[in-house]
């Protein structure tokens, strides 16, 4: 199993994580080892999962939640009672 730098960069961009050159090289080598180890899953038989799960429902009623002030209390930037995010494009 080999993993090249371009593959690591592609996955990092999907995951929205910038990496430096050193990390890319290190991860490419480590991912090759780890993915090779995962190959053993190919030999696992198909198994039907237990169907003993049940949906849990509750009435759709208004309940107390966080106040606006509490919800915003950890935001790096806010404006007029809203979260302030980066520009979209």
Is 43 a binding residue for other proteins by CB under 8 A? The answer is yes
Is 28 a binding residue for other proteins by CB under 8 A? The answer is no
Q: How many angstroms separate the CA atoms of 44 and 70, rounded?
A: 48
Is 23 a binding residue for other proteins by CB under 8 A? The answer is yes
Do β-strands 82-83 and 78-79 pair in parallel, antiparallel, or remain unpaired?
A: antiparallel
Q: How many angstroms separate the CA atoms of 5 and 28, rounded?
A: 6
Is 82 a binding residue for other proteins by CB under 8 A? The answer is no
DSSP state of 82: E
Site of interaction with other proteins (CB under 8 A): 7-8, 11-19, 23, 27, 30-31, 33-35, 37-38, 40-50, 56, 58, 66, 70-71, 73-77, 83-89
């Amino acid at each position: 199993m080999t993993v090249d730098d371009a593959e690591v960069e592609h996955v990092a961009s999907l995951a929205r994580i910038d990496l430096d050159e050193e990390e890319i090289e290190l991860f490419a080598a480590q991912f090759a080892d780890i993915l090779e180890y995962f190959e053993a899953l190919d030999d696992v038989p198909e198994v039907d999962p237990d169907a003993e799960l049940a949906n849990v429902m509750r009435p759709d009623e208004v309940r107390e939640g966080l106040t606006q002030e509490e919800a915003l209390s950890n935001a790096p930037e806010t404006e007029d009672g809203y979260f302030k995010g980066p520009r979209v494009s």
